[in-house]
């Protein structure tokens, strides 16, 4: 099966490309590195020629409207031109429609772009990756003090496992229109203090002193309300955070 992977040079996109190739499909990575720019549409038509499915992993958290919203518009418009429209599979974020954080709002808007596009599209929402959970907990750890923001928690998930599920959807049955797949999440729910403790334990250090701060503003209140945690119907899998730590020392994250 011929599958285009936007953001194919990124952390998740590379995993999708590798998984497609491992299963005997024909992946094509699309990114600015390979001459395809969703922000401008450059190279997009040629990249999508003959694609039977598209796994849309491209994202730009710092300027989400450019790629995540407008880029998704371009992708859907190009797909609509095909004689046989490819199946668009979009990776989104659990709870993005319940948090005013600008990046999350853009992800939710991109979902709506696909819902109204008329092309066969499936949205797959996932929780935060293990690497992001480690980075956030590291940023909130000062010396031996771990800060927590209200009741914020994560259910971190392994990126390669998510990539495998995306390939399942892309190479499976094509929907007639817009669809939402089952949310994806890791196997355990962790408070940010527990993530910080796991980082210190992995570094051979004592557990941190935990200081709880009240959440201020809509974004932090949404995280404190755990809008980023999926419901019980979510599909869970992949390694736990501690298992992930054994194989992946977070770059630039201190476990002080």
Contact 84, 51 (CB under 8 A): no
In a structure prediction context, what are the per-residue pLDDT tens digits for the chain, which is 256 residues long? 999 999 999 999 999 999 999 999 999 999 999 999 999 999 999 999 999 999 999 999 998 999 999 999 999 999 999 989 999 999 999 999 999 999 999 999 999 999 999 999 999 999 999 999 999 999 999 999 999 999 999 999 999 999 999 999 999 999 999 999 999 999 999 999 999 999 999 999 999 999 999 999 999 999 999 999 999 999 999 999 999 999 875 444 433 2
In a domain, 49, yes or no: yes
* Residue 83 burial class via C-beta count within 10 angstroms: exposed 0-12, middle 13-18, buried 19 and up: exposed
Query: Does some domain include residue 63?
Result: yes
Q: Whole-angstrom Cα distance, residue 154 to residue 231?
A: 13
Q: How many CB atoms lie within 10 A of CB 220?
A: 17
Does 203 fall in a domain? yes
- Supply the pLDDT for residue 249: 57
Is residue 253 domain-resident? no
Instruction: Give the up-direction half-sphere exposure of residue 78: CA atoms within 13 A in the CB hemisphere.
Output: 24
Q: What is the pLDDT of residue 83?
A: 87
Is 8 among the domain residues?
yes
- Intra-chain end-to-end CA distance of the chain, in Å: 47
- The total number of structural domains in the chain stands at 1
Q: Is position 252 within any domain?
A: no
CATH number of the domain residue 42 falls in: 3.40.50.720
Structural domain that includes position 222: 2-247
pTM across the whole model: 0.94
- What is the pLDDT at residue 253? 40
Residue pair 63/97 in contact by the 8 Å Cβ criterion: no
Nearest alpha carbon to residue 125 among 37, 53, 27, 227:
227
Contact 235, 185 (CB under 8 A): yes
The pLDDT of residue 247 is 85
Q: Tell me if 150 is assigned to some domain.
A: yes
Rounded-to-integer distance, Cα 238 and Cα 240, Å: 7
For residues 168, 170, 172, 173, the Cα torsion angle rounded to the nearest 10 degrees is 150
**29, 61, 84, 175 from 87: Cα distances, Å:** 16, 24, 9, 8
């Amino acid at each position: 099966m011929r599958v285009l992977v936007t953001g194919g040079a990124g952390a998740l996109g590379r995993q999708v490309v590798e998984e497609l190739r491992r299963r005997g499909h024909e992946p094509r990575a699309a990114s600015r590195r390979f001459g395809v720019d969703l922000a401008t549409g450059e190279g997009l038509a040629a990249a999508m020629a003959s694609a039977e499915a598209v796994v849309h992993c491209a994202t730009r958290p710092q300027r989400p409207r450019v790629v995540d919203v407008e880029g998704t518009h371009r992708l859907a418009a190009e797909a609509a031109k095909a004689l046989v429209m490819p199946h668009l599979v979009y990776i989104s974020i659990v709870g993005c429609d319940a948090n005013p954080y600008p990046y999350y709002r853009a992800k939710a808007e991109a979902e709506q772009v696909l819902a109204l596009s008329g092309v066969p599209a499936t949205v797959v929402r996932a929780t935060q990756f293990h690497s992001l959970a480690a980075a956030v907990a590291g940023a909130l750890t000062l010396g031996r003090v771990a800060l927590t923001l209200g009741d914020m928690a994560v259910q971190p998930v392994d990126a390669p496992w998510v990539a495998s599920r995306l390939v399942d959807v892309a190479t499976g049955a094509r929907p007639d229109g817009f669809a939402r797949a089952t949310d994806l999440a890791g196997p355990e729910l962790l408070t940010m203090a527990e993530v910080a403790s796991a980082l210190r334990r992995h570094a051979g250090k004592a557990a941190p002193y935990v200081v709880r701060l009240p959440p201020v503003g809509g974004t932090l209140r949404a995280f404190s309300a755990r809008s980023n945690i999926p419901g019980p119907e979510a599909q869970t899998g992949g390694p736990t955070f501690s298992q992930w730590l054994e194989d992946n020392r977070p770059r630039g994250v201190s476990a002080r």
